[in-house]
Chains A and B, each alone.
Chain A
Amino acid sequence: MAKKNSEEQRFTLSSSPHLSKEDDVNKIMNTVIMALVPAIAFSVYHFGWDSLLTIMVAAGSCLATEYLIKKMRKREVTDTSSLLTGILLAMTLPPGLGIGFVMLGSVFAIAIGKEIFGGLGYNIFNPALLGRAFLQASFPVKMTTWEAPQHLAMDAKSFATPLGGYKFGESVIQNAGDYIDGLIMGNVGGCIGETSAIAIILGGVFILVKKYADWRIPVSYLGTVFVLGGIFWLISPANYPDPIFHLFSGGLMIGAFFMATDMVTSPVTPLGSWIFGIGAGVIVILIRLFGGLPEGVMYSIIFMNAFVPLIDRYTRPKYFGEVKK
């Protein structure tokens, strides 16, 4: 990641790796932000310009917080990762959440989620999710008041999400047509960036192809939710929702593609990525089916984030010629 622009750096001696790729932190972050554009566009379409305002406020507050803290620590802001954190945080917030709450969550995400630990690369938990967790724990009512998307002919101000509907017994999804329009296109209640599965998959596949995210994590995460949700559905279709519903409802898609794959807070080894994804998938199903909350994606990722150092430690690959102790 060293910049090779000045004369004196031409003969720098350094430890390996000596071949540097074109990718640096900024390029990766900007590509991921670009991958989020379809989801942002869909959220504006569904929830109006308010959602764009929320995203701008969150991104702006994150950048400002990052700048202030770096200044306090006498460092310089070198990357746009806080911008990405802000956008991701905003996408997990319900539409119509006040500007003040968005700013508070952003400050928490950057200051306590990231900079307290030493900045990008040292944080244990995904900063955006930590910001959301703080808001969720502080303002539980505000964070679960959903506005209906503007294209649904409904007068009601508050609106049940598909998962909330399942949990509290008023189903939003009734027939097959609702699946396509509601869950896949995103014409349902929910957080501003999470409802449209198709837009998220579009961006998600893009970063997977670019190899900015490990494909094993979304595959194992979504796969576990699908298989485990399917098993429960086969046991008792009347009590448990079907696996397709599990996959496309709530924040699972954005969590699997953009949150769980965060380079800093996910395992580095291939085996570790599988363990990480499977573990998070199991937790999602447990919370959704047996927990007190309708949705468990946020907690599943934060929970598995805490295990990443342990997973990395036990899945360390053998180096060539290593003798087993």
Chain B
Amino acid sequence: MAKNKISLIKEFTKGLWDENPVLVMLLGLCPTLAVTNSAINGLSMGLAVLFTLTSSSIIISTFRKIIPDEVRIPTFIVVIATFVTITDLTMAAKFPEISKALGPFIPLIVVNCIILGRQEAFSSKNPVGRSIIDALGMSVGFTLTLTLLGAIRELLGAGTIFQIQIMPDSFANWMVMILPPGAFLTLGFMIAGYNWINDKLKTQ
């Protein structure tokens, strides 16, 4: 990654499309597949990751020069775990229903590869400002993908998006879409669609 040569805008947008954490890097698949049975769950999961990733990126990149190389991974994990605990308790207090729906997947953000991956690959080597942009881009990309995935599954599986009825009453819900197989099917088609669009863009 060429430092300082990439513009800040590029740094942000790469997380949205070129290096989308879910569709391209296939990171964080555990929450991606498990909690996206509705759009709201996907969005909340994304926002939880957004807060955790951005906050820990700020801390890690601030202290990047004084963290010894040998213990960097434990250090990252401790920092990440701190913010995950904050997220977990805040959600449990403010949004108990969503917290219940997401279940253990909020505490599991600690071991989410996207977050550790960004610390290792980016914020431990780059200044604070750049790290924040990178973290925001990645987590917005993650959030959008999860919300879209959740919306598609909710639309077909329950006929609604964000609990607003979209499908006509005669539509029989495809229950399988809100069950685990639906996550795999939808994600597969989203990745296929991503690659198809990318191919089209490249050949132009």
Complex CA distance for A140 and B181, rounded to whole angstroms: 15
What is the minimal beta-carbon distance from B146 to any residue of chain A, in angstroms? Answer: 22
A70 lies within 8 A of chain B by Cβ: no
The answer to whether B185 touches A137, judged by C-beta atoms less than 8 angstroms apart, is no
Closest A residue, CB atoms, query B170 = A100
Q: Does A56 contact B (CB under 8 A)?
A: no
Residue of A nearest to B181 (CB): A137
Closest-by-CB residue of A relative to B185 is A112
> B155-181: contact bitstring with A at CB < 8 Å (1 yes, 0 no)?
000000000000000001111110101
Q: Which residues of B contact A101 (CB under 8 A)?
A: 172
- The reply to whether B172 and A139 form a contact with Cβ atoms under 8 Å apart is yes
Taking CB atoms and an 8 Å cut-off, the chain A residues in 81-103 that contact chain B are 100-101
User: In the complex, A142 Cα to B172 Cα: how many Å?
Assistant: 10
The contact string, 1 if C-beta is below 8 Å from chain B, for chain A 136-150, is 011110100000000
A100 to B181: give the CA distance in the assembly, Å: 21
* 0/1 interface trace, chain B 120-159, chain A, CB 8 Å (1 if under): 0000000000000000000000000000000000000000
- From B175, B179, B181, B185, contact of A139 by CB (8 A): B175
A112 to B186 CA separation, bound complex (whole angstroms): 12
Q: Chain B contact residues: over half helix, strand or loop, or mixed?
A: helix
Contact assessment for B172 and A134 in the assembled complex, using a CB-CB cutoff below 8 Å: no
Inter-chain CA distance A229–B159, complex, in Å, is 43
Q: Write out the residue numbers on chain A whose beta carbons fall within 8 Å of the beta carbon of B173.
A: 138
Report yes or no: A137 in contact with B175, Cβ–Cβ below 8 A: yes
Docked complex: B54-78 residues within 8 A CB-CB of A: none
CA distance A112 to B176 in the complex (A): 14
Q: Number of contacting residues on B, CB 8 A? A: 9
Closest Cβ–Cβ distance, residue B114 to chain A (whole Å): 27
Count A-side interface residues using an 8 Å CB cutoff: 9
CA distance A67 to B173 in the complex (A): 27
B174: chain A residues at CB < 8 Å are 138-139
Contact B175 A138 (CB under 8 A): yes
* B contact residues around A100 at 8 Å (CB): 172
A138 touches B176 (CB 8 A): yes
**Residues of chain A from 119 to 178 with CB closer than 8 A to chain B in the complex:** 134, 137-140, 142
Chain A residues closer than 8 Å to B179, beta-carbon distance: 137
Contacts of B185 in A (CB 8 A): 112
Q: What is the CA–CA distance of A212 and B179 in the complex, to the nearest angstrom?
A: 37
Q: Which of A101, A134, A137 lies at the interface centre, i.e. has the most chain B CB atoms within 10 A of its CB?
A: A137
Taken residue by residue from 97 to 120, chain A's Cβ proximity to chain B (1 for < 8 Å, 0 otherwise) reads as: 000110000000000100000000
B-chain residues with CB within 8 Å of residue A138 when the two chains form the complex:
172-177
Q: Are B175 and A140 in contact (CB under 8 A)?
A: yes
Closest-CB distance, A117 to chain B (whole angstroms): 12
Chain A neighbourhood of B181, CB < 8 A? 137
Instruction: Report yes or no: B176 in contact with A137, Cβ–Cβ below 8 A.
Output: yes
Among residues 48 to 93 in chain A, which have CB atoms less than 8 Å away from a CB atom of chain B? none
Residue of A nearest to B156 (CB): A138
The distance in angstroms between the C-alpha atoms of A137 and B176, with both chains bound, is: 5
Residues from chain A with a CB closer than 8 A to the CB of B176 are 134, 137-138
- CA separation between A149 and B181, bound complex, in Å? 34
Q: Per-residue 0/1 for B86-107: is the Cβ within 8 Å of any A Cβ (1 yes, 0 no)?
A: 0000000000000000000000
A46, B175: Cα distance in complex, Å:
30
| A138 CA to B185 CA, complexed, in Å | 13
State in angstroms the CA–CA spacing of A112 and B185 once bound together.
9
- A134 vs B172: C-alpha distance when bound (angstroms): 14
Q: Which chain B residues border A134 with CB–CB below 8 Å?
A: 176
CA distance A142 to B173 in the complex (A): 11
Cα–Cα distance between A207 and B179 once the two chains are bound (Å)? 38
Residue of A nearest to B175 (CB): A138
Measured between beta carbons, the chain A residues less than 8 angstroms from B172 are 100-101, 138-139, 142
Shortest CB distance A145–B (Å) = 13
Cβ of A273 to closest chain B Cβ, rounded Å? 28
Q: Which residues of B contact A140 (CB under 8 A)?
A: 175
Chain B residues contacting A142 (CB-CB under 8 Å) are 172
Complex-state Cα separation, A139 to B174, whole angstroms:
7
Encoded as 1 (CB less than 8 Å from any B CB) or 0, chain A from 266 to 285 comes to: 00000000000000000000
19 pairs, CB–CB < 8 Å, chain A vs chain B: A100-B172, A101-B172, A112-B185, A134-B176, A137-B175, A137-B176, A137-B179, A137-B181, A138-B172, A138-B173, A138-B174, A138-B175, A138-B176, A138-B177, A139-B172, A139-B174, A139-B175, A140-B175, A142-B172
6 closest pairs, A vs B, by CB? Answer: A137-B176, A138-B174, A138-B176, A138-B175, A134-B176, A139-B172
List residues of chain B with CB under 8 Å of any chain A CB. 172-177, 179, 181, 185
Other 8 A-B pairs with CB < 8 A, given A137-B179, A139-B174: A100-B172, A101-B172, A112-B185, A137-B175, A137-B176, A138-B173, A138-B175, A139-B172
